[in-house]
Structures are given as C-alpha cells and as structure tokens.
Amino acid sequence: MAKRIKIHIDTPERKIHLPSVGKTTAITFIRFGLWGSNFAKDMEPETREWIRENKEVIIDAVKDVFKILQDFEPFTLVEVESEDTHILIDVI
C-alpha cells in the first residue's frame, strides 16, 4: 500500500534526495505553500485571490488523492528528464 511520497532531484551540481513524507506532512507543506502564496510578489492578483478562495477545495482534493493512492502498490508518480536533470517523485 502506497502511503508516502519520496522526491529525488539530480542535477550536475547536486543530488537532492528528500526524505519520504507521509500524508499529514505533505498536506502541511501544501497548506504552508498556499499560505505563502499570499506573499508572492510576482503572482497575478487574480491568481492569488483564486488560491485564497479555493484553499480548502485544493486541500480536500489532495486528501482525496492520498486516499486513492493508498489502494495502490508503490509506483513512480512523476519522472522528468532533461539533458542534465532528473526529477523523480515516487509513491511508496
């Protein structure tokens, strides 16, 4: 059963392998990111307002995704490769 998310970012300059995080921690980070969007100087005011108005909808959608992912075996959710960068997000 997939319950955690693990992120790897490999570039020529560095390799970042973040510790796996569970549902509660991931949702806390998302809440923090949504709150932090209030302070982004280069964000369109309409976008900032949309995020503010839909914050709970976004959080509920993320919770639903985690609920669905629990039924799956571990898998790679996202893999992006360019000439010199590799990003991998695994659900474990």
Q: How far apart (Å, rounded) are the C-alpha atoms in residues 24 and 6?
A: 14
- 70 pLDDT band, cuts 50/70/90, is confident
User: What are residue 42's phi and psi, to 5 degrees?
Assistant: -95, 10
Output the pLDDT for position 63.
93
Q: What share of the chain is helix, strand, coil (3-state, %, to 5)?
A: 45, 25, 25
Which residues, other chains included, contact 75 with Cβ-Cβ below 8 Å and sequence gap of 6+?
Answer: 2, 90, 91
| Residues spanned by the domain of 72 | 4-91
How many domains does the chain contain in total?
1
* pLDDT per position as a tens digit, 5-64: 999 999 999 999 999 999 899 999 999 999 998 888 889 999 999 999 999 999 999 999
Output the pLDDT for position 69.
87
Supply 15's token pair: 């390799």
Cα–Cα separations (whole angstroms), residue 89 to 8, 10, 49, 55, 78: 6, 12, 29, 23, 5
Supply 71's token pair: 């039924």
